[in-house]
Amino acid sequence: MKDIVGSRFRYRWILATVILLSSMALIAFNYYSIKLLASVRALRNAQFVYVKAQKSAIRGLSVFVYNQRSEYYEIFKSNISIPIADSLARTGWEKGKSHDFVKKAYLKGQNYPHDLGDILWLFQNFSQLNYFKTGFHYWRSSDYYVGQLWILGEKIHRESTTHQFSIQKKEIFTKAINQVCRNLDGTEEKFSEMLVNISNSVSRWLLILNIIFILLVFLNVGLFFNKLMKQLKDALQQIEAQNKAKEEFLSVASHELKSPITFMKASIQILERFAKNTPETKKIHPFIVNSGKQVDRLNNLVKELLDVTKIQSGRLTLNKEEFDIDALIQEAVEEKKQLHTHFLLIKSLASAKVYADPNRIYQVLENLLSNAMKYSQSETEIVVWSEIQGDKIKVCIKDEGKGIPEENQAMLFDRYYRVESTQHTVQGLGLGLYICSEIIKSHDGKIGVESKSAEGSTFWFCLPLLKAESKIEIPIGK
């Protein structure tokens, strides 16, 4: 049993470790995946600002070629400075420039300040990977074409200060601007495609690995549960085998004890008869009487154990017959009156017939009366009565004892249960009420108790009134 418990705790620790490690790995993977997605998003924001500015610069330069108005050249200059600043930030980072230099260039490129950390983290950790290398190569190509656009804009501006452009000249400049624009569009499209692919790949792997980790946790929980259930099944089988062995031992021991107890009882009765004959032997007469009482007590315990083993194994039979239960009650009360320890009163008896085993019902009455006498002070009243309730007869036995706390009442009829406050003052195994309960239940009846502390207890049981039944032996199941 200890091995099973130890193994169960060992598997519990293994499961907890696997779940902890899997959860930590899942959290770490999700954290870096989300950070990578955030960095890619920041990079896309930077690209959006970059593309928007260079297109605005191209539009400004194209309009300037046709009207040579200085305000359009200023539009070109202010917008082209944005991708140039962005390029300076990236090249500064690659060449090991200071963080302040990179930050100033990045902000001059009109990028979002909170995106700076994510972009720098992406460059620092992934810029050497082939996939990112290819993407950054496209961005460097865009920087090259932005530089060409700047040079072209300077050339156009210088020539505009000396003369007006002819239609032919305008077409030449426009063609050069369009060529740079196509080159930029091509590289920017490839870079955008790379960012989209990265986002899709990270999202896909994030989903796949999350599913894998979750399935891993569920798999381990399932394996642990299966192992635990197998261990519980083995433990239950061991307990059942031990209980069976215990019941068999009790049955054999009870049977083996009956013969010597009977012999002891007979011997004590003979000794008690002879002890009264002479003055010398009269001195030991009280000891012989006490010995007889102890043998009776031992005999009752053996009977209880034997009844319990029969009940548990389903071998206790009932020999039912029709009889007057009020007569049986009077017989049980009259027998207990012979002890002269309490005032036993029959309050009222309902005249009724039942179809039951009279010996077993008498056993119930005898046990309940004995308990009433054991758990109340001598020379107090014990009242017995019966009454008809519908199709049942209810028999009640009330004492003037200490009463039973409400929290203990539900367990009174359990096997081996005894109220803790009486364990050291009243002897017994805690089987009497359990046997009574099983006997009454086997007659389709009910048994219970009504009690309050310091107000005594009333034990009762109900039996069905007489019905036409065949007189057969009915075994009591477990």
Same domain, yes or no: 216 and 318? no
Q: Give the three-state DSSP class for 459.
A: strand
Q: Which residues of the chain, if any, have pLDDT below 70? A: 1-12, 15, 127, 131, 246-259, 276, 280-282, 296-297, 299-302, 304-307, 312-313, 315, 420-429, 467-478
Same domain, yes or no: 214 and 359? no
Q: At what angle do helices 358-374 and 432-442 cross, to 10 degrees?
A: 150
Same domain, yes or no: 37 and 176? yes
pLDDT digits (tens, 9 = 90+) for 193-235: 777 777 777 778 777 877 887 787 778 777 777 877 887 888 8
Q: Please state the domain count of the chain.
A: 2
pLDDT digits (tens, 9 = 90+) for 150-194: 998 898 888 888 878 888 888 888 898 889 888 888 887 887 777
Q: Residue 30's pLDDT is what?
A: 77
**Does 459 reside within a domain?**
yes
Q: Give the three-state DSSP class for 128.
A: coil
**C-alpha torsion 58→59→62→66, nearest 10:** -160
The domain that holds 453 is classified in CATH as 3.30.565.10
Domain boundary among 161, 192, 227: 227
174 Cβ partners below 8 Å, 6+ apart?
Answer: 62, 65
Same domain, yes or no: 62 and 183? yes
**Does 201 reside within a domain?**
yes
Q: Residue 457's pLDDT is what?
A: 93
Same domain, yes or no: 111 and 214? yes
Same domain, yes or no: 223 and 325? no
Q: Residue 11's pLDDT is what?
A: 62
**Does 246 reside within a domain?**
no
Q: Quickly tell me which residue has 């009956």 as its tokens.
A: 258
**Does 288 reside within a domain?**
no
Q: Quickly tell me which residue has 């192992």 as its tokens.
A: 227
310 Cβ partners below 8 Å, 6+ apart?
Answer: 251, 316, 476
Cβ pair 387, 327 in contact under 8 A = no
**DSSP assignment string, 212-274:** HHHHHHHHHHHHHHHHHHHHHHHHHHHHHHHHHHHHHHHHHHHHHHHHHHHHHHHHHHHHHHH
Domain boundary among 179, 209, 227: 227
Same domain, yes or no: 11 and 126? yes
Q: What span, in angstroms and rounded, lies between the C-alpha atoms of 397 and 373? A: 11
Q: What span, in angstroms and rounded, lies between the C-alpha atoms of 243 and 97? A: 82
**Does 301 reside within a domain?**
no
Domain boundary among 160, 192, 227: 227
Same domain, yes or no: 199 and 344? no
What stretches of 283-430 show up as alpha helix (H) in DSSP? 285-313, 325-337, 358-374, 406-409
Same domain, yes or no: 193 and 328? no
- Rounded to 5 degrees, what are φ and ψ at 163? -160, 165
Q: Residue 333's pLDDT is what?
A: 93
Q: Residue 450's pLDDT is what?
A: 92
| Terminal C-alpha separation, the chain | 25
Tokens read off for 380 = 């107090």
**Does 93 reside within a domain?**
yes
Question: Residue 376 sits in which domain range?
Answer: 314-475
Cβ pair 76, 64 in contact under 8 A = yes
Same domain, yes or no: 327 and 466? yes
Q: What span, in angstroms and rounded, lies between the C-alpha atoms of 306 and 288? A: 27
**Does 234 reside within a domain?**
no
Same domain, yes or no: 59 and 185? yes
Same domain, yes or no: 339 and 458? yes
CA dist list (Å): 54 to 51, 82, 185, 317, 476: 5, 8, 10, 103, 96
**Does 236 reside within a domain?**
no
432 Cβ partners below 8 Å, 6+ apart?
Answer: 304, 367, 370, 371
The domain that holds 11 is classified in CATH as 1.20.120
